[in-house]
């Protein structure tokens, strides 16, 4: 729609308001409603939004260790520029108009703390190199027959899953509560988040969805809107959806695998495909894979951002632990899917469902481009068989603290994302680890209370 058509739609909409949102560092959408009149005055300008958005954690507790904002700055308003290309209607809210925005700093330039601005920057670098990145992210998540109130009352223990038992790809179970599943598929598509596939995954009440591929920024928009939209649609049915990477030690974790390919600037040719290669993989694709393998230990917090992330990245839990790649192998970090001229792509399997899509896609793309820029040869052979046992090229950092220190000290991370972003982001991850480290857990009480 043109600017004039958008404005006309909003003026004619009976709600007389617009919903706007931005993504914080954890991938949580923070937003508000504004009047149609207010929107008309800022739609091609700027709107004020308190910069505490990048000064607190997921629990709204203010960081005490970042420079961008804090008590030392007085938490002023930052500027948000709405992206009119993200216009969509929210079908479960009477088609209220909705927009995403980008944070600017106080000099009206892209804020180094803004995840969407970071992905814009890396997308531009790819385009300047002659590439059009196409990406998609798929998600697994648990669904519980609970409300926020009942889950809090239970202390998040003994929650009732939407369906019992382990039943992946179940036609039977997907018919139980089919109204919810059908609403997910239909309403998400109407919301501009086109779903290619939706099914039950192994685990009680677990679903998996594949989102249609798109240019990388649009793909990240779709992914972040998917996570919030699923939760909002679930609320309608008295259901809580969680995208935690590992809900239970006894159950598989939840992935957020990223699929990616590079095309020519006219989107006519998949540059990862090579007919003459025995595996149908171009040298460009091999450079891209080599770049990711090389960079993964330096950027891991961007694709495993929480304490909980690393409880998914354990042997035998359908998530990788080693620096490996393979062809159609689900036990490695990078799963190459060559063959078709249209569908040849790379799947980064380290990524969990708890990620900020803007940061996860930024990490994958920047690392792959690093391999192309530096012409890194894919000398590491493809892993065949069990990738968990292939330790020949190293393993991933095993917790958030270890991974954060590696990224914080990495010149590669700073080259890829800029020193200011790396400093801010790693400080937020240090904060996250500090909050975890001071908590006395149920495990400690059960293990030590009586015996020690």
Q: What is the pLDDT of residues 118-169, one digit of tens each?
A: 999 999 999 999 999 999 999 999 999 999 999 999 999 999 999 998 888 8
Domain ranges for the chain, please list them.
Answer: 3-111, 126-443
Encode the chain (452 residues) as per-residue pLDDT tens digits.
889 999 999 999 999 999 999 999 999 999 999 999 999 999 888 999 999 999 999 999 999 999 999 999 999 999 999 999 999 999 999 999 999 999 998 778 999 999 999 999 999 999 999 999 999 999 999 999 999 999 999 999 999 999 998 888 888 888 877 899 999 999 999 999 999 999 999 899 999 999 999 999 999 999 999 999 999 999 999 999 999 999 999 999 999 999 999 999 999 999 999 999 999 999 999 999 999 999 999 999 999 999 999 999 999 888 999 999 999 999 999 999 998 999 999 999 999 999 999 999 999 999 999 999 999 999 999 999 999 999 999 999 999 999 999 999 999 999 999 999 999 999 999 999 999 999 999 999 999 999 99
For residue range 201-254, list pLDDT tens digits in order. Answer: 989 999 999 999 999 999 999 999 999 999 999 999 999 999 999 999 999 999
This prediction's pTM: 0.97
Find residue 305's DSSP bridge partners: none
For the chain, the farthest-separated pair of C-alpha atoms sits apart, in whole angstroms, at: 71
Asked if the domains 3-111 and 126-443 are classified in one and the same CATH topology, the answer is no
For residue range 253-275, list pLDDT tens digits in order. Answer: 999 999 999 999 999 999 999 99
Q: Domain 3-111: give its CATH code.
A: 3.10.20.70
At a CB cut-off of 8 Å and minimum separation 6, what does 20 contact?
31, 32, 33, 34, 47, 80, 82, 98, 99, 100, 101
- Count of Cβ atoms closer than 10 Å to residue 251 Cβ: 16
- Of 168, 141, 170, 160, nearest to 256 by C-alpha is 141
Q: Domain 126-443: give its CATH code.
A: 3.30.590.10
Dihedral pair phi/psi, residue 313, rounded to 5° = -85, 65
Cα–Cα distance measured from residue 129 to residue 135, given in angstroms and rounded to the nearest whole number = 17
197-213 as b/e: b if 16+ CB within 10 A: eebbbbbbbbbbbbbeb
- Note whether 139 and 231 are within 8 A (CB): no
């Amino acid at each position: 729609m043109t600017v004039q058509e958008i404005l006309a739609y909003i003026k004619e909409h009976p709600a007389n308001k617009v919903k706007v949102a931005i993504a914080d560092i954890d991938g949580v959408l923070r937003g508000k409603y504004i009047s149609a009149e207010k929107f008309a005055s800022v739609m091609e300008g700027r709107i004020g939004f308190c910069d505490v958005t990048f000064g607190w954690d997921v629990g709204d507790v203010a960081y005490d260790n970042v420079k961008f904002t804090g008590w030392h700055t007085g938490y002023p308003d930052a500027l948000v520029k709405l992206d009119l290309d993200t216009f969509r209607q929210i079908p479960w809210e009477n088609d209220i108009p909705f927009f995403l925005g980008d944070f600017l700093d106080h000099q009206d330039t892209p804020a180094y703390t803004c995840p969407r601005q970071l992905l814009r920057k890396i997308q531009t670098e790819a385009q300047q190199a002659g590439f059009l990145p196409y990406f998609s992210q798929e998600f697994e998540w648990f669904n519980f027959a609970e409300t926020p109130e009942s889950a809090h009352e239970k202390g998040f223990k003994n929650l009732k899953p939407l369906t019992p038992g382990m039943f992946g790809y179940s036609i039977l179970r997907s018919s139980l509560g089919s109204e919810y599943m059908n609403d997910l598929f239909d309403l998400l598509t109407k919301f501009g988040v086109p779903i290619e596939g939706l099914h039950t995954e192994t685990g009680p009440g677990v679903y998996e969805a594949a989102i249609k591929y798109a240019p990388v920024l649009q793909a990240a928009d779709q992914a972040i809107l998917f996570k919030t939209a699923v939760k909002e649609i679930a609320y309608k049915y008295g259901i809580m959806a969680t995208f935690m990477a590992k809900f239970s030690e006894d159950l598989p974790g939840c992935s957020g695998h990223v699929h990616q390919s590079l095309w020519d600037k006219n989107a006519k040719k998949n540059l990862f495909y090579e007919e003459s290669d025995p595996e149908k993989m171009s040298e460009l694709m091999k450079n891209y894979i080599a770049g990711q393998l090389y960079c993964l230990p330096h950027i891991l917090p961007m694709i495993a951002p929480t304490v909980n992330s690393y409880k998914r990245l354990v042997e035998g839990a359908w998530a990788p632990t080693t620096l490996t790649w393979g062809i159609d192998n689900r036990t490695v970090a990078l799963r190459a899917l060559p063959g078709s001229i249209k569908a040849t792509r790379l799947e980064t399997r380290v990524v969990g469902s708890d990620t900020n899509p803007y940061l996860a896609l930024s990490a994958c793309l920047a690392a792959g481009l690093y391999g192309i820029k530096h012409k890194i040869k894919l000398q590491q052979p493809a892993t065949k068989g069990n990738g968990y046992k292939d330790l020949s090229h190293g393993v991933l950092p095993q917790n958030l603290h270890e991974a954060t220190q590696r990224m914080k000290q990495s010149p590669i991370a700073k080259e890829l994302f800029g020193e200011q972003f790396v400093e801010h982001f790693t400080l937020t991850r240090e904060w996250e680890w500090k909050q975890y480290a001071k908590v006395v857990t149920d495990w400690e009480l059960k293990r030590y209370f009586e015996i020690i």
